[in-house]
Amino acid sequence: MFLSEEHRAQMAQSFEVIYAPDAAQAAAAIAGHGARIAVVLTIGATGLSAAQIDALPQVSLICALGAGYENIAVAHAKARGIVVANGAGTNDDCVADHAFGL
């Protein structure tokens, strides 16, 4: 699970949330809802491939939780005019504290 129930409930106040935290669930979500998905929130371990992006004709934003874009077909998304963003800097203090503690 990469998104807490609290955060999913918060997002559901404004959006229809299709929660698919692993590859099998993501494939099922894309197959069942791909034509109307506008935003994808993912993590590096799950990512989003070029084939998955192509199955999402309405997607306009792909967001990665975390500082990088691992396993996201960034060049492919950008070639389609899709904005790709990440959470760079959101956990700087925590990472610095952890590193200092080591």
CATH (domain of 59): 3.40.50.720
Q: What are phi and psi of 35, to 5 degrees?
A: -65, -20
- Number of domain units in the chain: 1
Give the confidence band of 95 by pLDDT, cuts at 50, 70, 90.
low
Residues 87, 65 contacting (CB under 8 angstroms): yes
pLDDT at residue 94, rounded to an integer: 65
Q: For 1-102, where are the E strands, in sequence order?
A: 39-42, 61-64, 83-86
pTM across the whole model: 0.83
Q: What percent of the chain has pLDDT over 70?
A: 87
Whether residue 97 has pLDDT greater than 80 = no
47-73 pLDDT, tens per residue?
999 999 999 999 999 999 887 888 999
Give the confidence band of 93 by pLDDT, cuts at 50, 70, 90.
low
The domain containing residue 14 runs over which residues?
5-101
23-33 pLDDT, tens per residue?
899 999 999 99
